Structure 1
Amino acid sequence: MPAWSLALSMVVTGPLLAPGYLLLRDAVSTPRSYLTDAALGLSEAAPRALPQDFAVAVLSSVVDGGVVVKALLLAGLWLAGWGSARLVATVLPDAGLPGQFVAATLAIWNPYVAERLLQGHWSLLVGYGCLPWVAVAVLRIRGGDGSWWPLVGFTAVAGLTPTGLMLAATVALVCCVAPGAGRPRWACAGVALAAAVLGALPWLVASTAGGSLASSQAVGVQAFAARAEPGLGTLVSLAGLGGIWNGDAVPDTRTTAFAVVATVVLLAVVAAGLPVVIRRPAAVPLLVLAVVAVVGPALMATGPGLAAVESIMRAVPGLGVLRDGQKWVALAMPGYALAAGAAVVTLRGRIPAVATAAVCCAALLAVLPDLAWGVGGKMTAVRYPAAWQTVAAAINADPRPVAVLPPDSMRVFPWSGAAPVLDPLPRWVSADVLSTGDLVIGGQTIPGEGKRAREVQRLLLDGADAAALRQAGVGWVVVEGPAPALDLPVVHRDDDLALYRVGGDQPPAAHRGLLIGAHLVWAGAIVVAALGAGVAAVRRRVTP
């Protein structure tokens, strides 16, 4: 089963196996990243990418950063399929290998994965891949034959992003409700919460030390609401694991009436197993969670739901993570995988299990053909122009704050494809890059938290001289793409980039040591959990 899951994952990510970097919408990889203030969550922006940026910065000091990101993405998809197969083996052992094949296929080959890939949410997919493993860990603990280590480890890995951690913690707490003669529910819930706190430590500490809770996120609630697909309402689109807010981050087959056929097929595979799986007490909590994970985002996309979410986010700014409602549909995946795996048991009296599995897997693959090979070739390995290496090297030799033009956070580069991408510069230099975080969606500007960056960009756009920029603490100015020359000392200029030296500086943010310590605790939890799980596995094998 690991081999099947890996094969599917490689079919999806195939173009990324070529040399180059993942650069697509929110996904940004560069040859090297650094432990800047922003990477530690000490910038003006809310700490949304913690501890992801820390992990990539550390790993890219040893391995090329493009390889790191691509490997983590591949691992996330592989874990999703393999873990779903293990979940079926744990809850529905009578489904056998055929049921595990169906579960693994559904977990990897579905619209949620396709849309999040196109949106560039590679680290969210790492958390997604951990969900079935978290469920297996808790169910085995409740059953009396599991250790705590896998729960702690997979929760921490899912915590590569705040959303991934929240997804994993939710699955863990829901599975604590399952019946079992092993550890009591309160003990499982306590360990699950403790593991969640360890995983959340980087961004909890950053939010407290840096005071960087996002108060502007409520402005974009409507723009980020789940979206109905052609021929489907919002609820059914979400039930089919689709409906992402960005209509441009959707496979081509989901932009036509074929989305109806694809959704019917996926739901039919899931529905076929319900008569069996609903009678397995250990599966019921995950089935209930799947229903909530579909209905909840659908309600959030209604008028009252949008108003409620906006009110909550204005009252508690740190809950800006709720804004993208469709991403919570990931919580349905473990329950869907179980139901899909049970389909072979439901039909076993009339159709051989192997035949049922073959038909279900083929159907799931056939109705989403453009997930293959980088979602229809839209996700590829990108090569940076040589100017980027030149500019990054100059800034890294004298790391001072960098101001960037044009002012938008997203870029469209002729060498990276038609889709917009986040500015790669902040993840390539050891200096802090001033960014407003503003997003333009459907003609609406959703302001970010970068007040200082906004002031500096206003100075630049107004033609401020070097003295004014130095006083504002600007050390470098980078212009990305063709633009009129600035009246500043030129270090490099060509058709791709222009670099100007200004010479200003700002002291590093306080609490860097505290944030590094919080990240090390998170990383340590993963290492200790992996060692503990390994020792426990060895003991089980040698104990008579």
Structure 2
Amino acid sequence: MTQARRAVRWVVPGYALLLAVAVTAPLLAPGYLLLRDAVSTPRSYFSDAALGLSESAPRALPQDFLIAALTPVLDGGVVVKALLIAGIFLAGWGAGRLAAELVPDAGIPGQLVAATLAVWNPYVAERLLQGHWSLLVGYGCLPWVACAVIRVRDEATAARWAAVVFWIALAGLTPTGLLLAAVVALACVAVPGTGASRPWCAAGVLTAALLAASPWLTASALGDGLGSSPSPGVTAFAARAEPGLGTLGSLAGLGGIWNAEAVPSSRTMLFALPATLVLLGVVAIGLPAVLRRRSVLPLLVLAAIGVLLPAAAATGPGLAALRDVVEAVPAVGILRDGQKWVALAMPGYAVAAAAAVVTLRGRLRPGATAVVGVVALIAVLPDLAFGVWGKVTPVRYPQGWATVAAMIDAYPADVAVLPADSMRQVAWAGAAPVLDPLPRWVRADVLATGDLTISGHTVPGEGGHARDVQRMLVAGGSPEALAGAGVGWVVVESGSAGTVGDAQRTLQRFPVAYRDEDLTLYRVGGTSRGATPTARAAVIAAHLVWLATLFGAAVAALSGACRRRRGSSSATPDAAP
């Protein structure tokens, strides 16, 4: 009997792993994830950009620090792909665990439906295509955060508090992931319980979130990334209506990302309408079984808010209000991409989907209901499988990239890059554009404006100094002025569209350090100033706080779980007749 129970215990995580592998199968092959915002390189360093001390806002902290810390011993391509697969796996497994916590009468069949909905949906597909791998790690933590807080509300042991801290810190791999986790955690504080009181629980959640946020809060205070307002991008990043659906319908179906090119093919046609109806139908069937459960209501309310607020923000008045807020407080520019906040709906959706088994128990066996629900959810998004129909695949860098990176690392100084565009579109990297990989591959800081071109309109980034240098190059400015601006190297990346202008007039006066069909490296000889040692030390210390919080909480939570398991095992013989 004990062995049977142990086998059953692994059904949901095994199924979640199967789903995650089905989605990311191409990434199991050698190579690097290089797709739109996703950039992985063999090695990363603790550059000013990786520490959030460059001109760009610290949006990729502490993920860049973690990658820089791991790549001396693990290839960066392996690290990024492993974290992405783990995030999707955690979403499915966590949704099953949350369903078991809140709808125990749904059993394993309900947990399988919850896991399917958490993994097999447009949100996962679109964020994969956009290259938001670290956001998907945070997304995968959300049901675990909810489950951990609910358990603390039931019984506030040290191990359960450690689980709350761990999942919030792990979701904090990016600022967006941390904010999503903190909102889910605060919503679950409202769940009834006899453990930690609501004020203490909320205080604990906020303390954990503050510790996890210390890297990018410190970098924001010491860096220059928040000096300019990102408000011009508010309209460009608003949620988008899909065929047959308004913006509200698209968001309710967990779709509607701003980039129409980062969408699976099945969502670009009228098939999006019945597909959304099926997903919402599975959720709606379970609602009668959970609406009267007070422990589920906070997540259902959060799901409604997670859909309605981004929809409101995509309207004319909503865009105007958001633009005013971002102009007044540039730090809240993180709110521009409204659709990503729909992730808040996933935990509530998953629990309701699991409850569909309970609602239909009088008509169908739980196993039959689970099969129908799982098949329906997968069938309406068939092209999520195998890397969104082969669009998410690893690539290999031409040999010249490693050579150029090694030469720059030998004499690190600011690097200017041409063509003058943050995105690259080269044949060896696939059909989709990708962020320039060079900034994440070298010790030196690569001057990047952060400008993005969306539907023919340019959304300016925060890189003022980088923009000045690029203008100087494109205008064919003097070599002395370029070196005086602190530029040590210029890299020309061939084969990608973008502005070059009269740069050759300047570059022909510099020695060529390396040249092949993909890259040309010029030695300029300027000396970079960079961040102060004090600022770097402060930001590194903040990252160490995050790491200590993450690993310390993990050890405490695992120790508590092992003690509980040993206690359960020792109690079993005494209870036997």
Aligned twin of 1:53: 64
Aligned twin of 1:79: 90
Instruction: Read off the aligned partner of 1:333 and give its amino acid letter.
Output: M
Instruction: Decide which moves more: 414-423 or 465-474.
Output: 465-474
The residue correspondences of 1:44-443 to structure 2 (distance < 5 A) are 44-144=55-155, 147-213=160-226, 215-443=228-456
Deviations 1:262-315 (A, max 9, x none): 101000000010000111111000000000000000000000000000001011
Instruction: Read off the aligned partner of 1:51 and give its amino acid letter.
Output: P
1: CA distance between counterparts of 2:266 and 2:452?
27
Secondary structure, aligned partner of 1:319: helix
1: CA distance between counterparts of 2:529 and 2:457?
35
Deviations 1:440-492 (A, max 9, x none): 11111111111111111111112224322111110000001157853121011
| Cα pair 1:37 1:43 within 8 Å, conserved | yes
| Cα pair 1:35 1:54 within 8 Å, conserved | yes
Deviations 1:354-402 (A, max 9, x none): 0000000000000000000000111100011111111111101111110
**Displaced runs of 4+ in structure 1, greater than 4 A?**
482-485
Secondary structure, aligned partner of 2:345: helix
Deviations 1:388-439 (A, max 9, x none): 1111111011111100011110110111111110000000001110111111
Secondary structure, aligned partner of 2:427: coil
Deviations 1:489-516 (A, max 9, x none): 1011122011000111122302101100
1: CA distance between counterparts of 2:97 and 2:28?
27
Over the matched positions of the two proteins, sequence identity in percent amounts to 65
Instruction: Read off the aligned partner of 2:541 and give its amino acid letter.
Output: G
| Cα pair 1:88 1:103 within 8 Å, conserved | yes
Check if 1:500 corresponds to 2:522. yes
2: CA distance between counterparts of 1:452 and 1:472?
9
Secondary structure, aligned partner of 2:217: helix
Instruction: Decide which moves more: 103-112 or 482-491.
Output: 482-491
CA displacement at 1:542 relative to structure 2 = 3.3
Aligned twin of 2:554: 530
Instruction: Decide which moves more: 69-78 or 214-223.
Output: 214-223
Deviations 1:341-362 (A, max 9, x none): 0000000111000000000000
Instruction: Read off the aligned partner of 2:565 and give its amino acid letter.
Output: R
Deviations 1:21-74 (A, max 9, x none): 000000000000100000001001111111110011111111000000000000
Instruction: Decide which moves more: 479-488 or 414-423.
Output: 479-488
Secondary structure, aligned partner of 1:127: helix
Instruction: Read off the aligned partner of 1:5 and give its amino acid letter.
Output: A
The residue correspondences of 1:28-43 to structure 2 (distance < 5 A) are 28-43=39-54
| Cα pair 1:214 1:320 within 8 Å, conserved | no
CA displacement at 1:145 relative to structure 2 = 6.4
Check if 1:20 corresponds to 2:42. no
Check if 1:509 corresponds to 2:520. no
Instruction: Decide which moves more: 284-293 or 450-459.
Output: 450-459
2: CA distance between counterparts of 1:241 and 1:276?
22
2: CA distance between counterparts of 1:539 and 1:114?
39
2: CA distance between counterparts of 1:427 and 1:462?
27
Aligned twin of 1:491: 513
2: CA distance between counterparts of 1:216 and 1:497?
33
Secondary structure, aligned partner of 1:512: helix
Relative to the length of structure 1, the TM-score reads: 0.99
1: CA distance between counterparts of 2:68 and 2:271?
42
Aligned twin of 2:467: 454
1: CA distance between counterparts of 2:518 and 2:43?
20
1: CA distance between counterparts of 2:492 and 2:88?
36
1: CA distance between counterparts of 2:47 and 2:450?
17
Secondary structure, aligned partner of 2:521: strand
Residue number among 480, 483, 488 corresponding to 1:467 in the alignment: 480
| Cα pair 2:448 2:463 within 8 Å, conserved | yes
Residue number among 13, 20, 44 corresponding to 1:9 in the alignment: 20
What 5-or-longer segments of structure 2 have no aligned partner?
1-11, 572-577
Secondary structure, aligned partner of 1:148: helix
Closer, same or farther in 2 for the Cα pair 1:99/1:214, shift >3 Å? farther
Instruction: Decide which moves more: 228-237 or 211-220.
Output: 211-220
Instruction: Read off the aligned partner of 2:421 and give its amino acid letter.
Output: D
Relative to the length of structure 2, the TM-score reads: 0.93
2: CA distance between counterparts of 1:345 and 1:166?
32
CA displacement at 1:531 relative to structure 2 = 0.4
2: CA distance between counterparts of 1:6 and 1:50?
27
